[in-house]
Structure 1
């Protein structure tokens, strides 16, 4: 927004921000509505709106059907979500994903590339920066025009954006991801734990919309956890909330039922935990009774582990996310039955519909929240 010198310019910027906030919230508004919302005179609102249009923040709407029959209609204006953009990045064990969206959350470009375990930390940071540049090029935008780049990564992430500890990606512990990306990208960078961003994505566009207390369980190549308490993601005293994955005993025991089934069906085929799980789920969907039993046993094991968290937290919803959420009721049904039998107030259990994009979408939402604070405060 235009800046001027003196006290008048400060008041003008405050009034402009107030009108812009009101327009963004309303999506479409008349001058009178904007003036009331910002508590300024109508002439002042008109001057400010003209400036916002000139600067690309707003645009005038065309006539709606029937306007001409009612006489001259009031001028209506809408917020231009495409005036600015943000990016979101998900750093997973196998893939790097990136998206660019406008300020309305509409994704305008997306990309993904492999994340090889053999990469050094420097190579991985370089790959993330290159991915952001490429996805921005796809969107026809220079990186420097992004309001923010949100990054969700596996590992314990402190308040400064440093990966304090990672047991999933080799060499990823003690990496100053915020600082390293900040030196490579000409845009503000935000770094957060992937599971916290995954539950944020569910609250924004997934199964947890409108819910305040949610437990999110990630089921893929590892197990992870995200908590939404009172509508806010929970970080924990050491920013380690959600890091339950790769605890060897529990991790193996949860997947053992699926791995045993896969080995029994195809003894000569070596599979990772995730591959065995996907194999068993696919066979269960085809009607294989032994596969169904293996998936039910896996679900019961997950439910048993979740119970110690669900009972004291009393969430209203449990979301099963990650690639194994595609199992749907094969996984959700046994967990729901387990809670119904053992919880004083059983939460609803649902499968996520966001798939592998959950962390990247959460990173987008987090970047959008930052944009709101920077642009509209």
Structure 2
């Protein structure tokens, strides 16, 4: 209860915790304390104003007429009990209906759970279950009493179809075990921070900070699973293998506007583009409120963003010229896209997170999109000045920045020191 779930103490692994999480946790605790304080004041007032008249009597009746306010007054003091019952029922459901991972059931996945528990310093191996997914992509972590458990939807075992991607599953399991290691499923933490979920923007920001923390744990355990995990979150369990994670991450810097930010502010999880950007660039924590600056993009834009005026979008002929410039390096039956004018020597299944080499300097053809549909240019991740950021000459030269003790990715992917699947 007082030592935390890991050997690292109740604070967990500090280097893996998003810097905004603890301040937001304090805000959540204060919000919950204020909520209970307000409840006590209102109940005391109702008990002492039975003979009220006029406007005071009308306000009193609003709390006692059996409507929404009455229900709120009844539910708030029951939150601790309700949380306990819901967690107990969830654990019972998993034990009664799901397949428990073990040495005799899904041992490959269970080994990932055990190894993640060891890597992240858990005192005990959490229970692990496979839940019937019915097409849904999800996983979650929870607890009941001193017990901790993770559940993985069955569809996550099918990532990539026949060409399975165990590293993606490893990252997702590491993310869920990370929630446990960071104390996110603690009963007392939930009690003291539950009411913040009903505060617009603040509750969602707190949840996103926790998700970034869990992603940091997932990365520390399985950095090579990043492209597969982001692919399945954005493209699904089959097409996810075709998602160019660099292109996804770069869009975090170029998709702008109030409504795009609003979609993130109202989400309990970081939006996929921002999340991919945070997993690629380990020199700074994931963004909670404001998009990453465009100077952190790795590649020039290959297509317009929704923020730009439609008059700057390329014509069909201009974009066909760009697509035709990649036909020699992209087989017609593939859905994985290369950057125009760039040669790739990396196998496709490793390309999602690799920097393309070598760089060709000749123009890629008329109409290559650079934000101005009338321009022509060459592209490549190492072309200085094209987009304000120059990655290392070789991905193998990149170093971890903020996560000690992690295992570096192989030389085909940039090394970077972050639930869940779907809404894990």
TM-score (norm 2): 0.26
TM-score (norm 1): 0.28
Structure with the bigger percentage of strand: 1
